[in-house]
Chain A
């Protein structure tokens, strides 16, 4: 048994630590991807108008 419970808690083997690191990295990549995806989908759903500054129309700015 590699994961041993003693006074120090569960002690992971080197192999388990490597696996955990790879899993953590994969989760981080997936979450980053989802953040970007939701941002892009929000822009797409709101349409190109969302990029314009709110407030008065352009002609009023000139006046």
Chain B
């Protein structure tokens, strides 16, 4: 259970009533939500068959709300460690604008509503996958893995990788190889992305007591793992083209971006001291976001052009 100090609970309770709409919006982690919506949209667009635009919109809305609900539950559970990290102490709960209990109820309510809506209005498999995703992120990742093992974001990355599979299932009612490849792409991408950030925010994580890889195994081992995952990521990114699921544009872009990812990961591996090391980690983190966005953008373009 989150160990929130009595003092802070008193403060949040006394401030109850001040929370604005924007605080509840912040509980939904809108930036994460936008990535989830984008990858789910790619799953919907690339799936064979037809979906009525209104039903497609409902599917995306439910996936977005479900992702936001998982984010709210994560913020409720992690309020104590959020309060100890510079990056997260301005969040609504540690800042005292929303009481932890309110956030929990908000998250549970939205979880139930989004799963029910997706299951009844779009499809049962999509609804079940969304329920599993929320459970995996809120319970398996937030409540268990995050504080227990440096492999937290490796295994927990499965939750962030599922949206394209849910999108696909919303259209077809099944799961096929292509969405599973998209799942694998995000799953393998997650560790180097987060470990680049963890190298930069090592002290923050240390203060919060989160066993991120740099804090447990050291910076050098983290750099080695980043490089290894990047070596695996390049062919996984290319696989949809190699298996004939995409056009030449995606093939070319995935090769170029995969090579660039390896270059940035190689710089993180080589540059280990001072500002150069920090810059390399920053570059890899920034590029990793661009990498995933561009690959999925090309998939989206090719999907809509079919």
Contacts and interface: CB of A to CB of B under 8 A. Distances in A.
B21 interface: yes
Interface of A: 1-3, 12, 15-16, 19-20, 22-23, 26, 37, 40-41, 44-45
Nearest to B53: A44
Contacts of B21: 22-23, 26
Contacts of A12: 17
A23 B19 contact: yes
B58 A41 contact: yes
Given A37-B58, A44-B52, A44-B54, A19 B17 contact: yes
A27 to B, nearest CB: 9
A37 to B, nearest CB: 7
Contacts of B248: none
Nearest to B52: A44
The secondary structure that dominates the A interface is: helix
Task: Indicate the member of A20, A22, A41 with the most B CB atoms within 10 Å.
Answer: A41
Interface of B: 14, 16-21, 24, 52, 54-55, 58, 61, 121
A42 to B, nearest CB: 9
A15 B54 contact: no
A19 B20 contact: yes
Given A41-B121, A44-B52, A22 B20 contact: yes
Contacts of A23: 19-21, 24
A44 B14 CA distance: 47
Contacts of B61: 37
B14 A16 contact: no
A23 B290 CA distance: 36
Contacts of A16: 17-18
Given A26-B24, A41-B54, 14 more contacts: A3-B17, A15-B18, A19-B19, A22-B20, A22-B21, A23-B19, A23-B20, A23-B24, A26-B21, A37-B61, A41-B58, A44-B54, A44-B55, A45-B121
A24 B271 CA distance: 53
B14 A1 contact: yes
A19 B18 CA distance: 6
Contacts of B121: 41, 45
Nearest to B25: A26
Nearest to B19: A19
B53 to A, nearest CB: 9
A22 B22 CA distance: 10
Contacts of A45: 121
B171 to A, nearest CB: 15
